[in-house]
Chains A and B, each alone.
Chain A
Amino acid sequence: MPSDLVHLYMRIDHLPQIWCPGCGNGVIMRDVAVAIDELIHDEENSINREDIVIVSGIGCSSRAAGYLDFNSIHTTHGRAIAFASGIKMANPKLHVIVLTGDGDCSAIGGNHLIHAARRNLGLTVVCFNNDIYGMTGGQYSPTTPHGDRATTAPYGNVDRPFDIANLASGAGASFSARGDVYHARETIDIIKQAILHKGFSLVDVYSICPTYYGRKNKKGDAVEMLKWQKENLVPTARYYSMSEGERANKKLIGILSFNDYPEYTEEYARIIALCRKAKKK
């Protein structure tokens, strides 16, 4: 018997999941389930379970859509945000949550990410960012650090990486944040805020891939990789209490940018109302 949470929000017939031992994706998927559960039971901001749609693309991360017991759609590689845009437009009351990966949302789907951010369409994108293409066996992705190894970077990665949360901020995302596997509780809270945020929200969650990225780059096992997160990724309060020197090479776990630009489907509803009024005259 799994826990009540798993029983309630996951399709247990399809578990245990296919991810490798120590893969961070399972933790992030649980974070999403906990965030939703807490919002469903939140008296102030209660959301309806049936209004949640999980949309994913292709890759390790995107298998999450099949495990989570909500309306779920597992789409094509890179296109989850585009499918989600249509779902949200068709039915704006839905909470459309995109579960994607670093390759899915910033390489093949990078264009859709920046344009959904720019439009401020009310989607929540949770990126399971493990710095590698796992499903195809360990090729470098747009977030693989410069110099790191991958099966397609046998001499070290020539590319310079994206910081996906900053990329979304730069594209105009009205909510952009970073989470990780180690700081699961903080990440759950960030995902909750992202879901409640009316406009476009992105949470770039640093996952771990001990099997491919970790092994190729001598980062140790899952435990070692999480220890690295503990040391180098810093939740908001502590981050801002640190001196600039202390922050060097550290990254913030928390919200990077936030504002209340008008949300796209609400803006469009205004256009419909305008047209209807003109028609009546």
Chain B
Amino acid sequence: MSKTVLMQGNEAAVEGAIAAGMRFFAGYPITPSTEIAETCALRLPQEGGKFIQMEDEISSIAAVLGASAAGMKAMTATSGPGFSLMQENLGYGAMAEIPCVIVDVQRSGPSTGLPTSPSQGDYMQARWGTHGDHPVIALSPASVLETYTLMIRAFNLAEKYRTPVIFLMDEIVGHMREGVELPDPGKLIINQRKMSFHDGANKQCYFVPEGEYVPAMKPFGQGERYNITGLAHDESGFPVNSSEIAGRLVKRLLDKVEKNTDHICRVEEIEMDDAETAIVCFGGTTRAARDAVNAARAVGKKVGMFRPVTVWPFPEKQLRARLPQLKRILVVEHNHGQMLLEVQRCVGGALPVGFLGRIDGTVISPRDILARLGEMEGMHHAE
């Protein structure tokens, strides 16, 4: 029987990653993610893994991509300013198809902002931070236990789709301490990347069979020489100037995610079966939203919560399925309205979409949400 342990969200991120097989971490200290680096420094050598504190966030993600190419499951962790620095190499990981997990424990911005205060202001940066059209998978946990279990999924998705996965935490969850009962390690599902060891003659290291999207991976230094580049390349891994090949490559990279949203997108729904009002939120904001749902239900209001666990790609199919029953949606997030744009895109004007956000580093309370719901209902009745 597993026992209950008191754990911080940032520590749970590390323990989940280790359970998933992560054995390499490179990072640079930054509030409020630093405990992830500290815990990796302590824990990884105990598991035969390796930790290195790099000179900045750019080199941290570069080292992570290098270690992953050489066959290790690898991770880095940072916060907003460092996440901005990582963007170029994040795109490299997507282009060269090198799996890894990048944790962003969001804090208040822009710039140095309020380093110790919560925020969810990196939601759009997670999607569009690096240049060019690129695939993105981002997951956002709402509790310490979920940080542990979702981290395992983050590695599984990174390995399965050969792409960087962003683990979009926030200060609320990162610094929260909760008693958690960790799952039995024997019951965890851990995916490994699909490997290919062709004979030396087959240099098509990015060969993708018909109907598939992800090439099997060859590790560096294990007997097969091949080339990795961030330039547009053909299946042999060498740069090309052909617009046809470049276009086909980028389309396949995008399709890896877009054609697999049924597998990638997960949501959590609370009291949604008969809900007429949906609170849409993610990450640390979920705590207040859940309390608000309970309080609303206690007075007979049909309020539910719809939470994207996979925040990118946005789970639009799941949200659209709820639209016919809904009268209104309230998007609650610790920013100036970022996921709001995705919700509005999915709703397409079919329903009123309200917003409650904060950009001052303070936490949204259940009372704030109830008040905003009351306003929306009032507006509705007045129509």
Where the two chains meet, the residues of A that have a C-beta atom closer than 8 Å to any C-beta of B are: 11, 14, 50-51, 53, 55, 65-66, 69-76, 79, 81-91, 93-94, 111-112, 115, 268, 271-272, 274-276, 278-279
B234 CB → nearest A CB, Å: 12
B52-69 interface (Cβ within 8 A of A): 52, 54-56, 58-60, 62-69
Is B225 in the interface zone, CB < 8 Å from A?
Answer: yes
- Tell me, in angstroms, the Cα distance from A69 to B236 when the chains sit together: 13
- Tell me, in angstroms, the Cα distance from A17 to B115 when the chains sit together: 49
Are A276 and B48 interface neighbours, CB within 8 A? yes
Are A90 and B66 interface neighbours, CB within 8 A? yes
Contacts A91-B221, A275-B46 given; does A73 touch B69 at CB 8 Å:
yes
Contacts A79-B59, A91-B71 given; does A85 touch B221 at CB 8 Å:
no
- Tell me, in angstroms, the Cα distance from A76 to B90 when the chains sit together: 11
Are B231 and A74 interface neighbours, CB within 8 A? yes
13 contacts between A and B (CB under 8 A): A50-B223, A55-B66, A70-B225, A71-B225, A73-B227, A75-B62, A76-B230, A84-B66, A85-B63, A86-B74, A89-B24, A115-B55, A276-B48
Are A87 and B69 interface neighbours, CB within 8 A? yes
Are A83 and B221 interface neighbours, CB within 8 A? no
Which of A53, A73, A268, A279 lies in contact with B50, CB distance below 8 A?
Answer: A268
Which of B45, B54, B66, B228 lies in contact with A72, CB distance below 8 A?
Answer: B228
Closest to A111 in B: B55
Are B220 and A71 interface neighbours, CB within 8 A? yes
- Tell me, in angstroms, the Cα distance from A79 to B54 when the chains sit together: 12
Are B59 and A90 interface neighbours, CB within 8 A? no
Residues on B with beta carbons closer than 8 Å to the beta carbon of A53: 70, 220-221
- Tell me, in angstroms, the Cα distance from A50 to B200 when the chains sit together: 11
Residues on A with beta carbons closer than 8 Å to the beta carbon of B355: none
Q: Is the interface of A mostly helix, strand, loop or mixed?
A: helix
Are B67 and A90 interface neighbours, CB within 8 A? yes
Which of A11, A71, A89 lies in contact with B52, CB distance below 8 A?
Answer: A89
Are A86 and B63 interface neighbours, CB within 8 A? yes
B35-54 interface (Cβ within 8 A of A): 45-46, 48, 50, 52, 54
Residues on A with beta carbons closer than 8 Å to the beta carbon of B55: 111-112, 115
B234-263 interface (Cβ within 8 A of A): 238-239
Residues on A with beta carbons closer than 8 Å to the beta carbon of B221: 50-51, 53, 71, 87, 91, 93-94
Residues on A with beta carbons closer than 8 Å to the beta carbon of B62: 75-76, 79, 82-83, 85-86, 112
Which of A66, A73, A82, A111 lies in contact with B238, CB distance below 8 A?
Answer: A66
Is B89 in the interface zone, CB < 8 Å from A?
Answer: yes
Where the two chains meet, the residues of B that have a C-beta atom closer than 8 Å to any C-beta of A are: 24, 26, 45-46, 48, 50, 52, 54-56, 58-60, 62-72, 74, 88-89, 92, 96, 220-231, 238-239
Residues on B with beta carbons closer than 8 Å to the beta carbon of A65: 227
Residues on A with beta carbons closer than 8 Å to the beta carbon of B231: 74
B345 CB → nearest A CB, Å: 32
- Tell me, in angstroms, the Cα distance from A84 to B70 when the chains sit together: 10
Contacts A79-B59, A89-B63 given; does A50 touch B45 at CB 8 Å:
no
Are A76 and B24 interface neighbours, CB within 8 A? no
Closest to B58 in A: A79
Closest 5 CB pairs of A and B: A86-B66, A86-B63, A82-B62, A82-B59, A90-B70
- Tell me, in angstroms, the Cα distance from A65 to B229 when the chains sit together: 9
- Tell me, in angstroms, the Cα distance from A183 to B67 when the chains sit together: 35
Residues on B with beta carbons closer than 8 Å to the beta carbon of A75: 62, 65, 92, 230
A89 CB → nearest B CB, Å: 5
Residues on B with beta carbons closer than 8 Å to the beta carbon of A115: 54-55, 59
Closest to B219 in A: A91
Are A83 and B63 interface neighbours, CB within 8 A? yes
- Tell me, in angstroms, the Cα distance from A73 to B346 when the chains sit together: 40
A72 CB → nearest B CB, Å: 5
Which of B48, B66, B224 lies in contact with A82, CB distance below 8 A?
Answer: B66
- Tell me, in angstroms, the Cα distance from A39 to B225 when the chains sit together: 18
Are A87 and B66 interface neighbours, CB within 8 A? yes
Are B45 and A90 interface neighbours, CB within 8 A? no
Contacts A79-B89, A82-B59, A275-B45 given; does A74 touch B227 at CB 8 Å:
yes
Residues on B with beta carbons closer than 8 Å to the beta carbon of A72: 225-228
Residues on B with beta carbons closer than 8 Å to the beta carbon of A268: 45, 50, 52
Closest to A115 in B: B55
Are A85 and B229 interface neighbours, CB within 8 A? no
B242 CB → nearest A CB, Å: 15
Residues on B with beta carbons closer than 8 Å to the beta carbon of A71: 220-221, 224-226
Are A271 and B45 interface neighbours, CB within 8 A? yes
Residues on B with beta carbons closer than 8 Å to the beta carbon of A91: 70-71, 220-221
- Tell me, in angstroms, the Cα distance from A76 to B225 when the chains sit together: 20
- Tell me, in angstroms, the Cα distance from A76 to B62 when the chains sit together: 9
Are B26 and A86 interface neighbours, CB within 8 A? yes
Residues on B with beta carbons closer than 8 Å to the beta carbon of A274: 45
- Tell me, in angstroms, the Cα distance from A9 to B50 when the chains sit together: 32
- Tell me, in angstroms, the Cα distance from A160 to B298 when the chains sit together: 73
- Tell me, in angstroms, the Cα distance from A53 to B220 when the chains sit together: 8
Are A66 and B227 interface neighbours, CB within 8 A? yes
Are B220 and A76 interface neighbours, CB within 8 A? no
- Tell me, in angstroms, the Cα distance from A14 to B227 when the chains sit together: 12
Are B220 and A74 interface neighbours, CB within 8 A? no
Closest to B23 in A: A90
Closest to A65 in B: B227
Are B229 and A50 interface neighbours, CB within 8 A? no
- Tell me, in angstroms, the Cα distance from A271 to B40 when the chains sit together: 13
- Tell me, in angstroms, the Cα distance from A259 to B220 when the chains sit together: 30
B62 CB → nearest A CB, Å: 3
- Tell me, in angstroms, the Cα distance from A230 to B132 when the chains sit together: 46
Which of B24, B88, B228 lies in contact with A86, CB distance below 8 A?
Answer: B24
Closest to B72 in A: A90
Are B228 and A87 interface neighbours, CB within 8 A? no
- Tell me, in angstroms, the Cα distance from A79 to B334 when the chains sit together: 34
Residues on A with beta carbons closer than 8 Å to the beta carbon of B68: 86, 90
Are B229 and A66 interface neighbours, CB within 8 A? yes
- Tell me, in angstroms, the Cα distance from A82 to B69 when the chains sit together: 13
- Tell me, in angstroms, the Cα distance from A94 to B63 when the chains sit together: 15
